[in-house]
Chain A
């Protein structure tokens, strides 16, 4: 058996009802007790006062002293008419009953065994068993010149007391019941409202939601800031913190102003339309960083409470779209390749079918011939494996860029200059080639006639010099700029750091070589580097 699970609002309602019922019950008990005590005290005192007053009547004292029953009867009967007491009893100094308003036997000892203190001269209030039953009585001694001569006992029957008590309690009980009903209704409404406020969710669900929400906010790779109407931060996620360079030790940002961290005036944040409309994917600036941001109003109870700002780094998006377009390009290439492949296989099948085997062989071999020839050429001429590897890599790179790296047929290299280590010599060649590629590619993109640009490499150690010559079909370099291009930090590229040619110059000079920069015809530049084999001979 599965227990029927109580919803939070129901639990709250039940708990509240029980609490209120308990409170009302305790209150009732308490008040009831007070009423009862008051009743007893009041009646007791009333009985005592009456007893005292009766005892103080001189005629009565005289009558009691003389055992004048008739006089007592007359006196007390008169008083009794004015009193609400259940009974009045008069006794002599031996506690013998002399008179009783209820016509109980006379000249017998008074019932209750509570007269010793009274006979000593004290008035008392007492509850005890009398001849008529349980009663609350006030007793007072009758005192004349020669001491205590008798006892006055004024009694109220407890039955009557209860009756009185009940009469006094009824309105209170009604009040309690009404109170309970009101509280019951209140707790019902209260729990209903709570339920509504909590969007019908259980507290467990809410805490899970809160945790989940913060986990989501921290995990998304997007900046997220919630602010109130005064642009004080109410929530900020990790990405946004990092992006805005908010140090880790600033633990609690809640309540601090957003403009402490976004300094420059920002049209996204301070906008006339802020209160009216949401903004999506607007290019904006956060501290000189370009972001794509959205600003969404936080509306609660039909009133704007603030905004949620989400943003992404523009550069990342650019990178992403670039990558995506590359993927697209790869997919296109692949499709083209597959098509080509099909044609290829069809041709092959045809040749085999017609038994033109030599043609088929040649047809297949042709596919790899160019690369194989380049490979054989390089490894044949360039005997330094690292340089050969570098050149093959650059050859491939050129192909990928849509350029062609042509090796001069007279290329040869048996070893590298003594004064340079391998990586330095490689650096010279690699930087020259990379520059040539970039320049040629830029020219290719600019020119109207789409001809494959050729980068030419001549690398030789056939004479007593090493000669490295790289020519491209990019732009020509102005005479004025020529002397500065080798300086550190100087670059003509949009994305260069100006290190490449500086390294080329540094390493060349280290090996006592020199550089010539010439214009290529009809366009482009030729870098020639000459490094002597035995620099001592110069």
Chain B
């Protein structure tokens, strides 16, 4: 990892800013180019240092950190933002997500979480800088990286319990019937919302397929049917 990553820390609490800076430099080897305690300082430093990354606190004495997103777009800077906001201010967070923040952290931030985020950013920059011509797979990877998908979470396992799945699948195996959500709910004694998840999972894994029929009053109904192997 030989890229020199410059970071700017925007935080109005001096001690916290220093601790953060030290943490960043010691644990992730990212160089801290500066610490800004106000929004206007942050803007000046952004242009002066042109950092790769900003650790941005939302509450600043002279305005909200979120304003910096527009500033970066306006000034056409190639800076990424890791946005930090208080737990009570999730609204601003959704705003930051829409504006494409690299990551979003909620105060009080655990240092493991910061380290994780910074690590991700290093990988992101590294991959971005290596090949000139990106393949679609690489582009996908890049995008996935930015949206945190790079750690291969075991897909489709969370929320699917083997026993419940078995119980539902057995309903279909043992009969040739087509079943609606209602039927499955009734027979398996599982809540409807859970049933939907499992049924959709079964479609995903090509165990079931869906047929749509129009009922008595013209409303479509979904019938789930076992795909016989």
Q: Which residues of A contact B (CB under 8 A)?
A: 361, 364-365, 367-369, 371-372, 375-376, 379-380, 383, 385-386, 388-393, 395-396, 399, 408-410, 456, 458, 460, 462-463, 465, 467, 469, 471, 482-483, 514, 516, 518, 520-521, 526, 528, 530
C-alpha spacing A465/B149, complex, angstroms? 22
- Specify which of B95, B160, B182 is in contact with A518 (CB 8 Å cutoff): B182
Q: A386-B98, A516-B219 are in contact. List 4 more A-B contacts (CB 8 A).
A: A465-B210, A467-B196, A514-B212, A521-B191
* A368/B97 contact (C-beta < 8 A), A516-B221, A521-B185 known: no
CB neighbors of A among B214-229 (8 A): 217, 219-222
State whether B94 touches A380 (Cβ < 8 A). no
Q: Taking CB as reference atom, which chain A residue is nearest B197?
A: A410
State whether A371 touches B181 (Cβ < 8 A). no
State whether A379 touches B104 (Cβ < 8 A). yes
Q: Taking CB as reference atom, which chain B residue is nearest A374?
A: B90
State whether B196 touches A458 (Cβ < 8 A). yes
B27 at the interface (CB under 8 A from A): no
State whether B105 touches A372 (Cβ < 8 A). yes
CB neighbors of A among B37-94 (8 A): 87, 90-91, 93-94
Shortest beta-carbon distance from B57 to chain A in Å: 14
B17 at the interface (CB under 8 A from A): no
State whether B196 touches A483 (Cβ < 8 A). no
B5 at the interface (CB under 8 A from A): no
C-alpha spacing A157/B203, complex, angstroms? 149
State whether A371 touches B193 (Cβ < 8 A). no
State whether B197 touches A458 (Cβ < 8 A). yes
State whether A364 touches B108 (Cβ < 8 A). yes
C-alpha spacing A368/B114, complex, angstroms? 13
Shortest beta-carbon distance from A413 to chain B in Å: 11
C-alpha spacing A369/B200, complex, angstroms? 30
State whether B204 touches A388 (Cβ < 8 A). no
B34 at the interface (CB under 8 A from A): no
Q: Taking CB as reference atom, which chain B residue is nearest A365?
A: B110
State whether A367 touches B108 (Cβ < 8 A). yes
State whether B90 touches A392 (Cβ < 8 A). yes
State whether A462 touches B196 (Cβ < 8 A). no
Q: Taking CB as reference atom, which chain A residue is nearest B159?
A: A409
List chain B residues, Cβ under 8 A from A369.
Answer: 110
* A379/B97 contact (C-beta < 8 A), A368-B87, A368-B109, A521-B192 known: yes
Q: List 25 A-B contacts (CB under 8 A).
A: A364-B108, A365-B110, A368-B87, A368-B110, A372-B109, A375-B106, A379-B147, A383-B147, A388-B94, A389-B94, A391-B94, A392-B97, A408-B159, A410-B200, A410-B201, A458-B200, A462-B201, A462-B204, A469-B193, A471-B192, A483-B219, A516-B221, A518-B181, A526-B192, A530-B222
Q: Render B107-127 as a binary contact track against A, CB cut-off 8 A, 1 for contact.
A: 111100100000000000000
State whether B110 touches A361 (Cβ < 8 A). yes
Q: Taking CB as reference atom, which chain A residue is nearest B107?
A: A368
State whether A376 touches B191 (Cβ < 8 A). no
C-alpha spacing A369/B108, complex, angstroms? 9
Question: How many B residues touch A, CB cutoff 8 Å?
Answer: 45
List chain A residues, Cβ under 8 A from B192.
Answer: 471, 518, 520-521, 526
List chain B residues, Cβ under 8 A from A514.
Answer: 212, 219-220
State whether B203 touches A463 (Cβ < 8 A). yes
Q: Taking CB as reference atom, which chain B residue is nearest A382?
A: B147
Shortest beta-carbon distance from B146 to chain A in Å: 10
C-alpha spacing A380/B185, complex, angstroms? 30
C-alpha spacing A386/B91, complex, angstroms? 13
List chain B residues, Cβ under 8 A from A364.
Answer: 108, 110
B187 at the interface (CB under 8 A from A): no
C-alpha spacing A530/B151, complex, angstroms? 30
List chain B residues, Cβ under 8 A from A367.
Answer: 87, 108
Interface pairs A-B: 8 shortest CB-CB: A409-B159, A392-B94, A389-B94, A389-B98, A396-B90, A365-B110, A368-B106, A393-B94
Q: Taking CB as reference atom, which chain B residue is nearest A393?
A: B94
List chain A residues, Cβ under 8 A from B143.
Answer: 383
List chain B residues, Cβ under 8 A from A399.
Answer: 90
List chain A residues, Cβ under 8 A from B149.
Answer: 380, 383
B166 at the interface (CB under 8 A from A): no
C-alpha spacing A516/B160, complex, angstroms? 23
C-alpha spacing A392/B158, complex, angstroms? 21
List chain B residues, Cβ under 8 A from A392.
Answer: 90-91, 93-94, 97
B2 at the interface (CB under 8 A from A): no
Most B-side CB within 10 Å, residue of A364, A389, A410 = A410
Q: Taking CB as reference atom, which chain B residue is nearest A526?
A: B192
State whether B193 touches A526 (Cβ < 8 A). yes
State whether A408 touches B193 (Cβ < 8 A). yes
State whether B196 touches A469 (Cβ < 8 A). yes
C-alpha spacing A321/B203, complex, angstroms? 54
C-alpha spacing A388/B93, complex, angstroms? 10
List chain B residues, Cβ under 8 A from A410.
Answer: 156, 158-160, 197, 200-201
B167 at the interface (CB under 8 A from A): no
Shortest beta-carbon distance from B209 to chain A in Å: 10
Shortest beta-carbon distance from B104 to chain A in Å: 6
List chain B residues, Cβ under 8 A from A528.
Answer: 181, 196
List chain A residues, Cβ under 8 A from B221.
Answer: 516
C-alpha spacing A236/B201, complex, angstroms? 71
